[in-house]
Structure 1
Amino acid sequence: MEQHGSAQAIHHHDDGAQVKRIWKTFWLLSIITIAELGLGLAIYNIHKGDDPNHTLVLIFKGIVCILTLAKAFYIVSIFMHLGDEVRNLIMTIIVPLMLFIWFIAAFLWDGGAWKNLKNTNAGSRPSIEKVEKQDLPAKEKGKKD
């Protein structure tokens, strides 16, 4: 009787490399989070001051947004194993995500413009000065309805 051996590949896992990768991810995400919290505290202290510098606050908020997106990318890349996938799959996920982020920014921008347009007198309603100067029948003395 002859025995046939099958060709099997035995994969040895290098646990040390995985643990090292986990610690690297932990420290990187911790440093980014601490930086975001520090910037948030700086923004809070700037707003609390007598004369806040709005340009500096806007720059800090932009940096916080960029750090948050970097953290999100790193989390998706490492924990969801997207960094190990083929380029076409990555683009299939990243391109709609970027469009979604762009839609949010565009809608916020448009919403801010609509709010400013709505609060000005564009001819669609009487201005507040005209309404206050009108003599209303209820305010006139001696007249009844």
Structure 2
Amino acid sequence: MEHTHTGVAHEEHVHDSSTKSIWKTFWILLVITIFEVGLAFLYLEYGFMARWALNGIFVTLTLVKAFFIVAEFMHLRHEIRNLVMTVLMPLLLFVWFIIAFLADGDSWKNMRKNLAPGTPAPPATHITNEPAHH
């Protein structure tokens, strides 16, 4: 009888620890989100920093929140390194994929704008092999 009681106490302790960890993650995510919303309102009201810097802060804080979500709710905090790499490497490649396509799309947009109908073409440089006449 004693053994089953110890098992129940151990199960309650594990459940209690898990619940505390989830609440800790919740509060961290809430604080980061409130900070992000506060920065957005300050930017809209006062324009106190460059937009690219603000976007960099938002991206960084979003990655921090993603880390906490993946670590806690996908249970990767307690897993072995190889399993973590199995999940993180495709994620990093996917993020790189998105960034590459955004850069390519921006390049295409700029090229299309420069070569739009009605827009004069940039002057062509004519390269010849003839010696220059002085």
TM-score (norm 1): 0.67
Count how many residue pairs are aligned between Structure 1 and Structure 2: 114
Partner of 1:45: 45
Structure 2 unaligned spans of 5+ = 121-134
Identity of aligned residues (%): 45
1:67 is aligned to 2:53: no
* AA at the equivalent of 1:35: F
- The structure showing larger relative contact order (alpha-carbon pairs under 8 Å, at least 6 residues apart) is 2
Q: Residues 24 and 81 (structure 1 numbering): CA distance in 2 closer, same or farther, change over 3 Å?
A: same
Aligned-partner Cα distance in 1 for 2:108–2:43: 27
Partner of 1:140: none
Larger radius of gyration: 1
* More displaced stretch, 100-109 vs 21-30: 21-30
Aligned-partner Cα distance in 2 for 1:110–1:42: 32
1:99 is aligned to 2:93: yes
Paired residues for 1:107-118 under 5 Å: 107-118=101-112
Partner of 2:31: 31
* AA at the equivalent of 2:21: R
Partner of 2:72: 78
1:127 is aligned to 2:121: no
Give the helix-richer structure, 1 or 2.
Answer: 2
Structure 1 unaligned spans of 5+ = 1-7, 47-51, 130-145
TM-score (norm 2): 0.72
Partner of 2:52: 58
Secondary structure in 2 aligned to 1:127?
coil
